[in-house]
Structure 1
Amino acid sequence: MGQVLGPIAGGFLTERTSWRWAFYATSIIDGCVQLFGLLFLDESYTPVLLRRKRDRLTKEGATGLYTEHDFPSDSKLELMRTIMIRPIKLLSTQPIVQVMALYQGYLYGNIYILYSSIAVLWTTRYHEKLDIASLHYLALGLGTAFAAEVATHINDRIFRILTKRNGGKGLPEFRIPIMIPATVILSIGLFWYGWSAEARIFWLMPDIGIALFAAAAYICTVSNNIYVVDTYGRYSASALAATSMLRCLAGFVFPLFSPYAYERIGYGWTSSILGIIALCIGLTGVIFIWKFGHVLRKKSPYCASRDVDDC
C-alpha cells in the first residue's frame, strides 16, 4: 500500500506546498520507520537465533553447546564475496531463476509504467488538478488489497488440493497454477486501461483496468516469490535478489520509453502491445515451470533438497 499512498501524498504535498516537501516528508517518515524497526522488529536470521539460544543455555549452566554456524569455513571477506556473487551466479546458471526473473521484471516494468502515466493521464486528458489526479492511485491499492485478501486463500486451497492428489507431498510447482488466470486478467486490465484512456471515456473506466492489472500483478508476484523460496530454501534470499536485479532494471528502463510510446502510438496500442507480451511471457513461463520445474530442481545444486519429491 505504500506504493499507492506515496504518490497520493506526494500529489497533495506538491499541489499545496512545493515539490521539495515531497522529499522532506519522505525523509522524515523513512527515518521514523527505520528507528521503529531497529527498536521493535524481531531478529529472524537463523544463525543469529541459534547463537542467542546457545548463549542463553550456556548462561543457565549448559556446556559444550555449539551450532553448525560456529565453524565457518570461509573468512568474513570470503563470505561477503560469496554472498555478493551468488545472486549473479543463480541468475546466470539457473533456468528457474531466469524464467521467474524475466516475468517478474516485465511485471514491474509495467507497474512502473502505470505509476508514471496515471498522473499524466488525468492531468492532461481529463484536466484534473494534480492532487485530484493522484487519487486515481487508489485503484492500484484496491486491486492489490482485493488480491491479497481473496487470491491468497484461493492459492492456498489450490496448493492443498494438488498436494492431496499427489499423495500428500507438496511441490513448489503447486504454487503457480493461479498465475495462468492472473496473467490473463493482467492482460485484460492493460487493454481496458489503454483503450479507455485512448477514448477518454468516463474517468472510472481506466481505474477499473488499473485495479484488474494491480490485482493480477500482485497474484503473479507473490506466487513467483513463494515458488522461488520453496525451491531454493536456504539460498532463497540470493534467488530473490537475483530476480530483483531484472525487476529493478525494468522498473528503471520501462518508464523511460513509455511517454514516447504513449505520445506516438497512443494509450490504446501501447497498452495492447504490453498486454500481449505479458500474456506470451506469463503463460509460456508458467507452462515451462509446470512441465520441467521438477527436473530442473533435481539437477540444481542450490535446490532446497536434491530429492525432487521433497524439494
Structure 2
Amino acid sequence: MTDPPRRTSSTSFRSQHDLHSATATKLNTPSTSHANLHAHAHALDLDLPPIPKRLKADVDEVPFSGRRPIDDEDDNGDETRFQPQSGEITRVASPVLGSAEKKSRSGEQQEEEEEEWKLTLDDDEDPTKWKDSRKWATTALVCLIYCTATLTSSIATGAAHQYAHQFSVTPFHQSLILTVYMIGLAIGPPIWAPLSETYGRLTVNLVSLPGYTLFNIGCALSPSYTSLLVCRFFVGLCGASPQSNSGATISDVWPPAQRLWPMFIYTCAAFGGPVLGPLCGGFLAGENPESHRWRWIYWLLTILGGVSTLCVVLVQRETYRPVLLKRKALRLLREHRSGSGSGTATTEKVEAPRSIYERELLATLDSQRLTVRGVLTTHVSRPFKMLLTELPLAYAAAWTSFAYAVLFIFFEAFPVVFGATYGFTAGQVGLAFLPLGIGILATVPVVRYFNRLNLAIRRENAGRAPPEARLKQGVLSAPMFVVGFFWFGWTARRSIHWISPMLATIPIGAGLIFSFNSLSVYVAECYTAYAASALGAMAFSRCILAVFVPLFGRTMFQGLGAGWAASILAFVSLAAVPIPFLFQRYGPAVRQRSRMAVKD
C-alpha cells in the first residue's frame, strides 16, 4: 500500500478553514472538530497549518451543518466551494490567491473579490409571485375591512334624532357622534402604519380588528351619551388601521403594472362605505325617536368586525417583504445554530466560522432591531415628516382631504336639503346618497381606459412607467366637482324637483374616484418602501379635515343656503384645476430631489 501523495506547503488556499474543510472532504468523514482533522492529517503525513485560537473557538462552539461541501478541486487544490442546501443564500467565490499575490492586489480589487451574500424569498414565499386567486382573495379581504371601517363613520348619523330625544343633546352634540370617530380615525394611521412596517400587515390586523369589535360592543351597550362617544373614539382608533394597511397590502402583493384595478377596489371601499352608511343607519334606526333600535347599528358593526377578524385569521398571510426576510433569517439562523439544516439530510458536515454563514442573517436581523426611542423618533414620526417634507405626498394629501371633506359635508347637508326642503324621512335621506354611489360605479370604463393607457406607456418603456403617469385621470376630478357643486347648489329648492340635486351628485361621485384612485396609486408608486407611512399620512390629513366638517357643514348650508354653500366648494375646485397638469409637467423633477421617493 502506497502512501498518499504529500501536499507541499506551497499549495495556495484561500484560508486555513478551506484547507481543513478540503481535507475533511478527501477523507470522506464528518469534520466535527479541528483536533480530529489534524489527527487524520498526521496519519496521512499531510501538512496542515496551525489552527488559530479564535477560529477554533468560533468553529467548535457552533457546528456548521446547514451546507454541504462540493469537492471539485483541480490538480492544484485551488477551489473548494460550498453549496447551500436550501438555496436561500448564494455565495460567489472569489479567485484563489496566494498570500504573496493577495498583498500585491489593490484594496479596490480585493473588495470586488469579496464573497457576496444575499438573502432572498423563494417563489412560494414572495407575495408578488402568489397565484392570482390568492392575490385577489387577499385584496378582497383587506378592502372589505376598509369598507367596514368607512361604513362605521357615517352609519351612526342615521339615528341622530334618537340620540337627541333619549340623551337630551343639542344638534351640535349630535354631530360629535361623527366627529369623535373621525378624531380616532385621524390619530390611528400615524400609529398603525409604522407598526405595519415594523411588525407586518397581518400582525396589525390581528391587533386592531378585535379592538374594533370589542369597542363596538361597548357602543351597543352604552348607558349614556358620554360613554357612547368614548367608545366611538376607540372604535375609530382601531378602525383606522385599514386606511394605510389595506392599501399597503395591495402594494405588497401586486406589481405596479397590475395594481390599478386592485387600487380601484380599494378606492371604492373608501367611498362606498360612507355612501351606504346613512342608508343602512336610517333604516336600522327607524323613525320613532323613543326606539332603541339605534343600538342595532352597533351590533351590526360588531358582527362585521367579528367576521373580518375570522377571515383575517383564516385567509390573510403576511405580505410585507422586510418582515418576511427577517422571519426567514431568524428561522435559518436557528436551524444553522441547532445543526438541523433546512435541506436534505447528509452525513458530510463541514465546520465553518459562523461569520461566513451568519453574516447576512445577522445583518438582516440587526436591520429590524428596534428600541423604544427608535420607534418614537423614526417610525411613529415618519408619516408626519413625510407629510411636511415630501411635496408629492403633500399635494396628494391636500386634494384627497378636500375630496373626503366634500363627502362629510354632504352628511350634514343632505338632511338640510332633502329633509327640510323636500320633507324626506331619515331613511329617504339615506336613499339620496345612492346617485353618489352610481357616480362612483360609472367611472369603471374611464378607469379601464387609463389603465390601458398606463400599460401602453410601460410597453414603450421596457415595462416601466413614471408615477406621474397615474395623474392623468386625476385631471378629471376638479372639473367634475365644479359641475356637480354648481348643479347641486342652484337646483336644491322647492320649485325644482328633488331628482335634480340628486343627479347632481353623480359627477361629484365620479370626481371622488378620479382624485382618490389616481393619487393613491401615485403615492404608492412614489414611496414603494414607505407605502404604508405615505398612505397613513394621507389618511391622517383627510381625517383631520373631516373632524371639523361636521361641526360647520350643517350650519354653513343653513346659514348661506344650498346655492352659495355649494358654490364655495365649486370655486375651491375651480382653483385646483391646473394643479394636476403642473405635477405631470414638473413632478419628475420634484421627485428626483425627494429624499424618500423613488428615482428614475
* Counterpart residue number, 2:6: none
* Counterpart residue number, 2:325: 50
- Larger Rg computed on CA atoms: 2
Q: How does 1:32-111 map to 2 (within 5 A)?
A: 32-51=307-326, 55=331, 60-61=342-343, 66=361, 69-72=364-367, 74-81=369-376, 82-111=378-407
Return the alpha-carbon distance in structure 2 between the equivalents of residues 248 and 92 of structure 1: 16
Return the alpha-carbon distance in structure 2 between the equivalents of residues 73 and 128 of structure 1: 56
AA aligned to 2:319 is S
AA aligned to 1:30 is G
TM-score (norm 2): 0.47
Q: Please state how far the C-alpha of 1:204 moved relative to its aligned partner.
A: 1.8
Structure 1 residue corresponding to 2:297, chosen from 22, 35, 51: 22
What do residues 188-217 of structure 1 show as CA deviations (whole Å, max 9, x unaligned)?
112222222135522221221112101111
Q: Is the 8 Å Cα contact of residues 103 and 285 (structure 1) preserved in structure 2?
A: no
* Percentage of matched positions with identical amino acids: 28
Return the alpha-carbon distance in structure 2 between the equivalents of residues 40 and 106 of structure 1: 35
* Counterpart residue number, 2:570: 275
Return the alpha-carbon distance in structure 2 between the equivalents of residues 68 and 138 of structure 1: 54
Return the alpha-carbon distance in structure 1 between the equivalents of residues 310 and 383 of structure 2: 29
Q: How does 1:130-209 map to 2 (within 5 A)?
A: 130-147=426-443, 149-163=444-458, 169-198=464-493, 201-209=496-504
* Counterpart residue number, 2:505: 210
Q: Is the 8 Å Cα contact of residues 447 and 473 (structure 2) preserved in structure 1?
A: no
More off after superposition, 230-239 vs 69-78: 69-78
More off after superposition, 31-40 vs 207-216: 31-40
Q: Please state how far the C-alpha of 1:25 moved relative to its aligned partner.
A: 2.4
Structure 2 residue corresponding to 1:287, chosen from 556, 581, 592: 581
AA aligned to 1:28 is I
Runs of 4+ in 1 over 4 A off after TM superposition: 51-54, 56-59, 62-65, 161-169
The structure with the greater share of residues assigned to helix is 1
Q: 1:37 to 1:292 in 2, by over 3 A?
A: same
Q: Is the 8 Å Cα contact of residues 393 and 523 (structure 2) preserved in structure 1?
A: yes
Q: Is the 8 Å Cα contact of residues 416 and 557 (structure 2) preserved in structure 1?
A: no
Q: 1:116 to 1:36 in 2, by over 3 A?
A: farther
Structure 2 residue corresponding to 1:13, chosen from 256, 281, 284: 284
Q: Please state how far the C-alpha of 1:168 moved relative to its aligned partner.
A: 6.2
Q: Is the 8 Å Cα contact of residues 51 and 67 (structure 1) preserved in structure 2?
A: no
* Counterpart residue number, 2:219: none
Structure 2 residue corresponding to 1:253, chosen from 543, 548, 560: 548
Return the alpha-carbon distance in structure 2 between the equivalents of residues 67 and 298 of structure 1: 33
AA aligned to 2:586 is F
Structure 1 residue corresponding to 2:596, chosen from 292, 302, 305: 302
Q: Please state how far the C-alpha of 1:44 moved relative to its aligned partner.
A: 1.5
Return the alpha-carbon distance in structure 1 between the equivalents of residues 469 and 389 of structure 2: 23
Q: 1:56 to 1:166 in 2, by over 3 A?
A: closer
Return the alpha-carbon distance in structure 1 between the equivalents of residues 362 and 499 of structure 2: 58
Q: Please state how far the C-alpha of 1:48 moved relative to its aligned partner.
A: 3.1
Q: Please state how far the C-alpha of 1:163 moved relative to its aligned partner.
A: 4.6
TM-score (norm 1): 0.87
Return the alpha-carbon distance in structure 1 between the equivalents of residues 410 and 362 of structure 2: 48
AA aligned to 1:288 is L
Q: Please state how far the C-alpha of 1:104 moved relative to its aligned partner.
A: 1.2
Q: Is the 8 Å Cα contact of residues 261 and 270 (structure 1) preserved in structure 2?
A: yes
Structure 2 residue corresponding to 1:229, chosen from 524, 530, 536: 524
Q: Is the 8 Å Cα contact of residues 189 and 211 (structure 1) preserved in structure 2?
A: yes
Aligned residues: 304
Q: Please state how far the C-alpha of 1:256 moved relative to its aligned partner.
A: 1.8
AA aligned to 2:477 is A
- Tell me the secondary structure at the aligned position of residue 233 of structure 1: coil
Return the alpha-carbon distance in structure 2 between the equivalents of residues 4 and 84 of structure 1: 31
1:264 aligns to 2:264 (yes or no):
no
Q: Is the 8 Å Cα contact of residues 125 and 200 (structure 1) preserved in structure 2?
A: no
Q: Looking at both structures, which has the greater relative contact order when contacts are Cα pairs under 8 Å and sequence separation is at least 6?
A: 1
Q: Is the 8 Å Cα contact of residues 183 and 278 (structure 1) preserved in structure 2?
A: yes
Q: Is the 8 Å Cα contact of residues 173 and 290 (structure 1) preserved in structure 2?
A: yes
Q: 1:22 to 1:200 in 2, by over 3 A?
A: farther
AA aligned to 2:578 is T
Give unmatched runs, 5+ long, in structure 2. Answer: 1-271, 336-340, 345-356
Q: 1:141 to 1:83 in 2, by over 3 A?
A: same
AA aligned to 1:289 is F
Q: Is the 8 Å Cα contact of residues 397 and 537 (structure 2) preserved in structure 1?
A: yes
AA aligned to 2:385 is K
Q: Is the 8 Å Cα contact of residues 109 and 254 (structure 1) preserved in structure 2?
A: yes
Return the alpha-carbon distance in structure 2 between the equivalents of residues 146 and 56 of structure 1: 50
Return the alpha-carbon distance in structure 1 between the equivalents of residues 322 and 464 of structure 2: 28
Q: Please state how far the C-alpha of 1:114 moved relative to its aligned partner.
A: 1.3
AA aligned to 2:594 is S
